[in-house]
Chain A
């Protein structure tokens, strides 16, 4: 059914959507950099402002990505991959939050492109939040951040064989750290309050706040980020080739609209 739809308008539309997502993410995760203490909101409430705005934006983007050019087979693939990712999450929950979930999001995004990757990342986190009853103000952030992880995997340059696995594991390490950093950064004033010595200082120069953040982050979450990066890299190296083969084969049979980056 996708063959009747001209490819280019759909791709342009998807590109427009994903660019807006990038813009929104900069605002949502980087807000402590431009926060002005003279504004009407209190700095510890700012993540809550986004908790109201982000669901609306995510709804628009996910609706658009799933309505345009996703047939029943693509949706079923999206649902099943999200299910596996959501089932992987509690396995690592005792150790360090969402561990192995990244592996699948990255592989799925790599196989089926940036739009699918974004939808997969955000829907996986949503499904796992429903399964574990973990819905809260952090959920829109997690959905956006893991969506970005999947989207980035879809935008990687072309590669084949072992160079592809090497590329993916390098990206996985980067994504695992970047995810931890941006999530911590957005919630930094929220988790620590404003009064502690490692806290965010509203209105202070950007470099001063970044310096404090680096200290706070190294002190609290370096180990988690490192653990997440290692576990997922290990999974990419051991399971990556086989999983990519399985879902690419299914994708070819289903003629999923977005071509895999390797065959572009």
Chain B
């Protein structure tokens, strides 16, 4: 039985989208990337709700186009020293010595453009996958499923998210009051007389909110006693060392080891800190079997692309050749479209 797309656990959508983004990051084959983007966009367009965040996919497409445009512009203006098929030549501008051997203008080759295009397409596809998660996952419900250690931080975020729209109303009230008093200051002069009352109002409201939170027992829901500082700091140091080793030295095994130890330590520290919280959750999000399948389909799609042979996943640009489509990338795209079968659009 299919579940409603909006009631699916928000972290399942994030898992699916991160799997899709990982799949896109593993290939520069434009055909595969196109298929992945089509599958992800189809799921978003057919399953998104009417909520404000559901409209964000367009913004991510714009951002992706922007990244593509910037990279291609730089590739054309500054040229890439590769290949022999010259498409056209720009007049070359000589630069002084301190410009570190940078060239402006010159020959633009097919190989250079293709290389830039493939690499930027990969980035653009990843951005669209992230946009899909932003469009499908309900941020407020995602916040309800944060680890207990982050309970206080999530309370602060929830306050922020619910106060932000009220600020607009508060601003309008202040503006109306100014007009009624016959104030006709404009521009920069008017700024303090609008911003200060709005801010004072917001601070006032936060203190009232805090009083009512305390009256309901907030702040006594965490048992005293601090989490294990040595564990937490050690874990973070290990994570930092791990990333340093993974990026900065060929000792890959040691680096990933440090990363794993650090991750386990950080999770343990968060759990220990969460244990001290004695709060129950009202109507927690349910992690259903559909959520499992949606999340796993994204991860398996990434696995499919990873299993594709290097030559098929990264078509040659020098010499340029027509990219071939691997059967496994068809499987990956089909898997990314699987949420269409597992979920239904909520009746509007």
Contacts and interface: CB of A to CB of B under 8 A. Distances in A.
- Co-assembled chains A and B: yes
Interface of A: 1, 9, 13, 16-17, 20, 23-24, 27-28, 31, 34-36, 38-41, 44-46, 48-50, 53, 56-57, 59-64, 66-68, 70-73, 75-80, 82-84, 86-87, 119, 123-124, 126-127, 130-137, 190-193, 195-198, 208, 211-212, 215, 234, 238-239, 242-243, 246-247, 250, 253-254
A82 B156 contact: yes
B206 interface: yes
Interface of A: prevailing SS = helix
B157 interface: yes
Contacts of A36: 247-250
What are the 6 tightest A-B residue pairs by CB atom distance, in nearest-first order? A79-B159, A133-B56, A80-B206, A83-B163, A76-B210, A133-B134
A50 B243 CA distance: 8
B82 A1 contact: no
B206 A238 contact: no
B192 A239 contact: yes
A46 B156 contact: no
Q: How large is the interface on B (under 10, 10 to 19, 20 to 34, 35 or more residues)?
A: 35 or more
B306 interface: no
Contact of A72 (B78, B99, B130, B210): B210
A136 B196 contact: no
A11 to B, nearest CB: 13
15 contacts: A20-B236, A27-B244, A46-B247, A72-B213, A75-B213, A76-B210, A80-B160, A80-B203, A84-B199, A136-B130, A193-B120, A211-B100, A215-B99, A247-B203, A250-B207
A68 B276 CA distance: 12
B346 interface: no
Given A66-B153, A83-B164, A215-B99, A27 B115 contact: no
Interface string B182-211: 000000100110011011101111110111
Given A35-B247, A133-B53, A83 B259 contact: no
A136 B133 CA distance: 10
B191 A239 contact: yes
A253 to B, nearest CB: 7
A75 B200 CA distance: 17
Interface of B: 25, 53, 56, 59, 67, 70-71, 74-75, 78-80, 82, 99-103, 112, 115-116, 119-120, 123, 126-127, 130-131, 133-135, 139, 143, 147, 149-150, 152-153, 155-164, 167-168, 188, 191-192, 195-196, 198-200, 202-207, 209-211, 213-214, 218-219, 222, 226-227, 229, 232-233, 235-237, 239-240, 242-244, 246-250, 252, 255, 259, 262-263, 266-267, 269-270, 273, 276
Contact of A49 (B116, B195, B243): B243
Contact of A192 (B74, B227, B233): B74
Contact of B149 (A57, A59, A127): A59
A139 to B, nearest CB: 10
Contacts of A83: 159-164, 167, 202
A230 B168 CA distance: 25
Contact of A197 (B103, B196, B270): B103
